[in-house]
Structure 1
């Protein structure tokens, strides 16, 4: 019998370690993904064959596989058995119309391994991906869910399964744990497909009256969680039908409309294993809607009717008339379709060319995320504005004059290494978690770091504004103190920033310090549990301002070949070196290639030499639009902390061996390359090149 979903009613927290620890995965081929069709498998149906078939009949031609829209996933063995011969019949006749095969309720676990592999291989031969269906919730109820889930993913990968569906069933899983599950699945080079719904207890065959008594959740919660999954790299979401079109007294069409309005339609799939349901979806949203149906319904769905639109459903079939010219001499293209004729003119959808404006009905949480990222981007101008405003009020002058003299001539707070202004309360404010969730950003740890040592974290790449470094090491937004307990870390920045009135207090409160040599040595040799820096750490963005000019999307060019000052610092202080690679840091902005504009490049380098920083000519999105502005794009930032490199201390600068410096530098570069090679297929799938180490 099939494994039933455990009726757990309490919150299931801690299903994964709070420390998002990435498992070590043996090298394997990349995941098949959601739809891959061998080039040899490009059969043409009679309905599409215009010369020798029925191509003369009006229909909605479907793109060849792999498809990104109009995807059909069929249920495998669950209500009835399915063997190789039956599946062969289905795919040999209807394979053109099937994109995915989904096992249900853990049914694949009831097979012997040989016939299961035969089913999976047969599906792949016809360009059909294979999904596990919902079974993860059963595994998460085990006493040791981490070990069980890792073994589950390892075996799924070995069997050739492509997609791991993540459904909660009767479990209440915190959002962060959901995202950790997604990361874990992706780390095995498998595709994660979360199943979302509004009905608690969905999938448990509870009658409609019972589900109504339990109640439903706010559809906005589903939409917000869907956005977080998509930001985390999920390619497609499954929408559970219970509570929407199944086991309800009346369909919740409002929920479906909101999902289609606020989430990308091509990245959403609806459970619709009922002819009335899938007919409604196609009638309302057209043939491009992604649907999950039973294997027995594939012919009914794809036959001349619902998908093909050759009998009664002409909503998406367009008749194109010749181009004409209007009174102004402009060429017009006339279109006639049943869908456009059936709707009032005022309700037609027009695609705007140019700037894409943000919709008005965005959730409050996403608005707050945008606002906080905007504030962080403009932190220095905001504090300078406050300062000049106070300067305009004479009553503050007796306080401002000595304050300015103090921070300009006498203050050593940024370089003393005492960290007196550091406030754990400020670092842990919830606003920083909202800031980090904008991208979203996540901090991953490969190994625990004992607090009995001191460390230098080398952060790469610089990017435009180093948003990932601030979220991970300048605040507690990503849980640094939980991942590395007992270690007091300081993010370092230019010494000039501590001469900016009011801003310096904010930076010191976050534990940020100067990147000067004096500051680095003081932090790593003073304070700590032994008074000599034990348990202290600093984070240096090694590439600096020069590297920011290399920040181009989908590429990673580091300025590191000649950067050895941090290596010498580690030797003098006895601090271990810890490489950190941030995947996505270069993808949140676009900038002009200054190398292609010599005058601009010379000006940028002149500013860098004279002022210590440079000004990349960058752009991304705006606050109210997605095309123009200085706000970063919403792109996942995955910050992976590598393995520490032990360093032998040599306090006498004159006796530091150059060969030892080169050896440590080489080991550091090798560790960075290992991080890149191990996680590039997980967090840099859209890369256009490999990691480059430059000077």
Structure 2
């Protein structure tokens, strides 16, 4: 019986990558990959550029007109099932995965069943958690018919970005929405570090929500080590919700994502308070040739085995801590199992 079920749910690869015993490599295509990155990430810079250009070079009345047009796109209804939108999203997902290129490894694809909702705990956040594209529904990798990536709510008030990211499968990262999606059978990708993790990034270190590890920056020519600091004890909400909904937790770690961008951000308590209020960190970031296009640095996204949970509508703090510790250990073990394969064999991992 179990063998029959596993046979029916064996993963069938779609377009855009090759399959090697559970490891999926997306072949690189620089032209399509660059365009996909520009569409997915460049819309943020496009809005800012349009506003600055209008403010500097146009009469004030025309500037107000531009602001009004952009505001119109904020309230313009979105058809989530738009044929054009879904085709665009599939194009972006497939070719962004090929750009770096990205290698996606799932330890056991047959552990995932299409009739079950999962909570994917993804790390690290970095400037942008762009490695989540390998898990997106539009990429066509995971055998899950319904999959959403929970994203900071300001995205859905940003012209153009809100449309594209909705078509890509993003959804607001609120507790109510999280529970509603799981209840309706959607698996959810959660990047739990969020604003706190981004704000605490440093040029000689990268903040990671789950762990503290030393990563050599050898791929881009520097000789120092990057120290990743963890803030795991502060964040347990996604674990509690997974327990309340009875959804398995899945550890995910992305190697190499931190090299996608250079960045600058202001510091201080006031900026942190502002970042928490507006749900994102006001910062500048840039990639190849100073553009929004990220640097081409290979990324390796590894997906561990699901941690099954019994539904518990009112878990105690002690029960949440117990499951939380189980998840942390699973993520730590996932990292240790795969670090040598992706070129980080000598890296220590320290959980805080």
TM class by shorter chain equals 0.7 to 0.9
Aligned partner of 1:369 in structure 2 is: 33
Which of 153, 165, 169 is matched with 1:511 structurally?
Answer: 169
- Given that 2:242 and 2:248 are in contact with CA atoms closer than 8 Å, whether structure 1 keeps it comes out as yes
> Could you tell me whether the CA contact under 8 Å between 1:460 and 1:541 is conserved in 2?
yes
Query: How many Å separate the matches in 1 of 2:322 and 2:173?
Result: 24
User: How far is the alpha carbon of 1:486 from its aligned partner?
Assistant: 3.8
Instruction: Specify the alignment match of 2:118 in structure 1.
Output: 455
Equivalence for 2:300: 638
Matched, 1:443 2:107: no
In structure 1, the residue matched to 2:288 is 621
Query: 1:358-409 CA distances to partner (integer Å, 9 max, x unpaired)?
Result: xxxxxxx5244334324433222335767999x96999999988775x56xx
Question: CA 1:455–1:421 in structure 2 vs 1: closer, same or farther (change >3 Å)?
Answer: farther
Query: Residue 521 of structure 1: CA displacement?
Result: 1.1
SS of the aligned residue for 1:682 comes to: coil
CA offset digits 1:187-233 (Å, max 9, x no partner): xxxxxxxxxxxxxxxxxxxxxxxxxxxxxxxxxxxxxx8xx6xxxxx
- In the aligned structure 2, how far is the partner of 1:639 from the partner of 1:367? 23
| CA distance, structure 1, for counterparts of residue 104 and residue 195 of structure 2 | 23
Q: What runs of 5+ residues in structure 1 fail to find an aligned partner?
A: 1-16, 21-173, 185-224, 229-364, 527-532, 623-627
| Counterpart residue number, 2:320 | 661
Residue 565, structure 1, aligned to residue 237, structure 2: yes
Cα drift, residue 460 of structure 1: 0.5
What per-residue deviation string (whole Å, max 9, x for no partner) do you get for residues 670-691 of structure 1? 110111110111114276x433
Deviation string 1:566-603 (CA, Å, 9 cap, x unpaired) is 011112222111111111112333457x8xxxx73445
**8 A contact 1:19–1:444 mirrored in 2:** no
Which protein is bigger by CA-based radius of gyration?
A: 1
TM-score (norm 2): 0.72
Question: Partner of 1:606 in structure 2?
Answer: 273
**Alpha-carbon distance in 1 for matches of 2:268, 2:255:** 26
Shift of 1:662: 0.8
| Cross-structure match for 1:283 | none
Residues 501 and 367 (structure 1), Cα distance of their counterparts in 2 relative to 1, 3 Å cut: closer
| Aligned-partner Cα distance in 1 for 2:93–2:72 | 32
Q: What's the Cα RMSD here? A: 4.1
**How far off is 1:475 after superposition?**
5.5
Aligned to 1:244: none
Q: Which residue of 1 aligns with 2:246?
A: 574
1:670 partner SS: helix
CA distance in 1, matches of 2:283, 2:350: 20
Instruction: Please report the TM-score for the alignment, with normalisation by the length of structure 1.
Output: 0.39
SS of equivalent residue, structure 1 residue 561: helix
Contact 1:368 1:434 in 2 (8 A): yes
Quote the Cα distance in structure 2 between the aligned partners of 1:505 and 1:606: 28
| Alignment of 1:649 onto 2:316 | no
SS at match of 1:663: helix
TM-fit CA distance, 1:507 = 1.9
Higher strand share: 2
1:450, CA displacement in angstroms? 1.2
Provide the rounded CA distance (Å) in 2 between the counterparts of 1:610 and 1:518. 19
The aligned counterpart of 2:135 is 473
Q: Distance in 2 between matches of 1:629 and 1:383?
A: 14
The 8 Å contact of residues 339 and 345 in structure 2, kept in 1 or not, is answered as no
Give 1:667 deviation, angstroms: 0.7
When residues 600 and 394 of structure 1 are mapped into structure 2, their CA distance, relative to the original with a 3 A threshold, is closer
Which whole-Å CA distance do the structure 2 matches of 1:385 and 1:617 have between them?
A: 13
Q: 1:459 touches 1:539 (CA, 8 Å); kept in 2?
A: yes
TM-superposed CA distance for 1:440, in Å, is 0.5
373 and 572 in structure 1: CA distance in 2 versus 1, 3 angstrom threshold: same
Q: Is the 8 A contact 1:577 1:646 kept in 2?
A: yes
Counterparts of 2:136 and 2:333, CA distance in 1: 25
Contact 1:491 1:513 in 2 (8 A): yes
Do the aligned partners of 1:427 and 1:474 also contact (CA within 8 Å) in 2?
no
Map of 1:490 onto structure 2: 148
Q: Assess, with a 3 A threshold, how the Cα gap between structure 1 residues 394 and 568 changes in structure 2: closer, same or farther.
A: closer
Q: Note if contact 2:73-2:160 (Cα within 8 Å) is conserved in structure 1.
A: no
Q: Cα deviation per residue 1:601-623 (whole Å; 9 max; x = unaligned)?
A: 4454233233222245655531x
Distance in 2 (CA, whole Å) between partners of 1:557 and 1:563 is: 14
Asked whether the equivalents of residues 244 and 311 of structure 2 are also in contact (C-alpha less than 8 Å), the reply is yes
Q: 2:209 aligns to what?
A: none
Counterpart-to-counterpart distance in 1, 2:251 and 2:49: 37
Residue 647 (structure 1) shift? 1.4
Say if 1:604 and 1:616, in contact at 8 Å, map to a contact too.
Answer: no
Structure 2 gap segments, 5+ residues each = 1-10, 55-60, 207-214, 217-225
What pairs up with 1:252-401 in 2 under 5 angstroms?
365-382=29-46
CA contact (8 A) 1:543 1:558 kept: no
Question: Which of 425, 430, 446 pairs up with 2:87?
Answer: 425
